[in-house]
Amino acid sequence: MTTAVVAALLHYLGVVKLPSSMDNQEKKNNADLDVVHMIAQTAHCIAQGKVGSGFDVSSAVYGSQRYVRFSPEVISSAQVAAKGASLPEVITDILKGNWDHERTDFSLPPLMTLLLGEPGTGGSSTTSMVGAVKKWQKSEPQKSLGTWKKLSEANAELERQLNLLSRLAEEQWDAYKCVIYNCSRLKSDKWIEQASEPSKEEVIKALLGARDAMLSIRYHMRQMGEAAGVPIEPESQTRLLDATLNLEGVLLCGVPGAGGFDAIFAVTLGDSSNNLMKVWSSQNVLALLVREDPRGVSVETSDPRANEITSAVSLVHIE
């Protein structure tokens, strides 16, 4: 929301020119997007009263990516703006600051769908959960470092397997497409049976590798939560995720962000997302109308809601 408001205002005032949703990816003006990113990150941090990861803002601006946070000091001038610094000075400092975040291209492999579900079991306080984890890190530095290292390794392995799948899709599309289609109708324990040739076996092993990496991520996140005394993956979420993972065509699932009761996510193969949404609905989990998007912020040119309004107005006859 912060990114949308900031981008809309800057575009309207002529400070930046946002790409159209119909434009090719190569047509994006990263200089304009960088301005949106810097202002949106700063506004978001001020509104939150702290410097978070910034990943949500960065992904909203640039689209799907691999991200490493900027140094908090880069927005220090904005944080003390209330003490007397003029707004032009603050904006200048922000735009000329050393934004040292890292951002590299990353997206889901073809024929995969990201789903986000809201269980409706209440929310969690991210701030208090993060605070509890930091307190645990200080009280048990060696143990926490070990858990953090294993979690980081599992994250890197998941990234590696997904990148491998993207490469396999590019290099051997027919085999990749066939495997995804077949596995979308089967539970994971039957996937390896589809390895009728080496190229298909390579795809299936990468799928199972990604699945195992996510299971490892979930395990270490639960360990972290138990040690810190906070429900990063609560038992109710664990039951729901395990049931989700046992469905046909589900590659992986977990709790997003800092975890808790807020939401769950799943990545599905082919068109198996339709079945997952039905199962979630039967368990009072609302599948949200969001999707993975490599484009980032843009000016929508074909908003279906606008089309519906236009059509409705055209049908009105005034006598």
Q: Domain for residue 161, yes or no?
A: yes
Question: What span, in angstroms and rounded, lies between the C-alpha atoms of 98 and 157?
Answer: 30
Can you tell me the distance from the alpha carbon of 282 to that of 280, in angstroms, rounded to the nearest whole number? Answer: 5
- Residue 267's nearest CA partner among 116, 151, 164 is 116
Give the pLDDT confidence score for residue 318 in this predicted structure: 45
CA angle 32, 108, 262 (to 5 degrees): 85
Question: In this predicted structure, what is the pLDDT of residue 173?
Answer: 97
60 and 201 belong to one structural domain: no
Contact 104, 66 (CB under 8 A): yes
Give pLDDT, residue 314. 44
Rounded Cα distance between 233 and 121, Å, is 13
Residue found by looking up tokens 């969001």 in the block? 290
Q: What pLDDT shows up at residue 289?
A: 81
- At residue 92, the pLDDT reads 85
pLDDT value for 306? 47
- Identify the CATH number of the domain in which residue 258 sits: 3.30.70.890
Residue 315: predicted pLDDT: 46
Report the pLDDT value the prediction gives residue 26, as an integer from 0 to 100.
59
The residue out of 88, 105, 122 marking a domain boundary is: 105
d(Cα 181, Cα 289) in Å, to the nearest integer? Answer: 23
264 shares a domain with 118: yes
Cβ contact 179:200 at 8 Å: yes
167 and 283 in one domain? yes
User: Does residue 43 contact residue 56 with C-beta atoms inside 8 Å?
Assistant: no
* Of 141, 59, 137, 129, nearest in space to 101 by CA: 59
Structure tokens at 27: 């047509």
The pLDDT value recorded for residue 312 is: 47
Q: Answer whether residue 10 is part of any domain.
A: yes
Answer yes or no: do 177 and 245 share one domain. Answer: yes
Are 141 and 225 contained in the same domain? yes
In a domain, 296, yes or no: no
- 166 and 100, same structural domain? no
My answer on whether 39 and 136 are in the same domain is no
Residues 63-122 have pLDDT tens digits of: 999 999 899 888 877 766 655 667 788 888 888 889 999 999 889 999 999 999 998 766
Nearest partner of 168 among 207, 123, 214, judged by Cα: 207
- Shared domain for 28 and 12, answered yes or no, is yes
Domain identity same for 158 and 50: no
Domain count across the chain: 2
**Residue ranges of the chain whose pLDDT lies below 70:** 24-29, 79-85, 121-124, 302-319
* Domain match, 263 and 184 both: yes
Q: Residue written as tokens 């890292």?
A: 102
> DSSP letters along the chain, please?
-HHHHHHHHHHHTTS--PPBTTS-GGG--HHHHHHHHHHHHHHHHHHHTS----HHHHHHHH-SEEEEPPPGGGGHHHHTGGGT--HHHHHHHHHTS----EEEE--PPTTEEEEEEE--S----HHHHHHHHHHHHHHSHHHHHHHHHHHHHHHHHHHHHHHHHHHHHHH-HHHHHHHHHHHTTS-GGGGGGG--SHHHHHHHHHHHHHHHHHHHHHHHHHHHHHHHTS-SS-HHHHHHHHHHHTSTTEEEEE--TT-SSS-EEEEEETTTHHHHHHHHHHTT-EEPS----SS-S-B-S--HHHHHHHHHHHT----
Domain interval for residue 94: 2-105
220 shares a domain with 135: yes
Q: What distance in Å separates the CA atoms of residue 207 and residue 179, rounded to the nearest whole number?
A: 10
Of 47, 72, 105, which residue is a domain's last?
A: 105
Q: 129 and 230 in contact (C-beta within 8 Å)?
A: yes
Q: Are 141 and 163 in contact (CB under 8 A)?
A: no
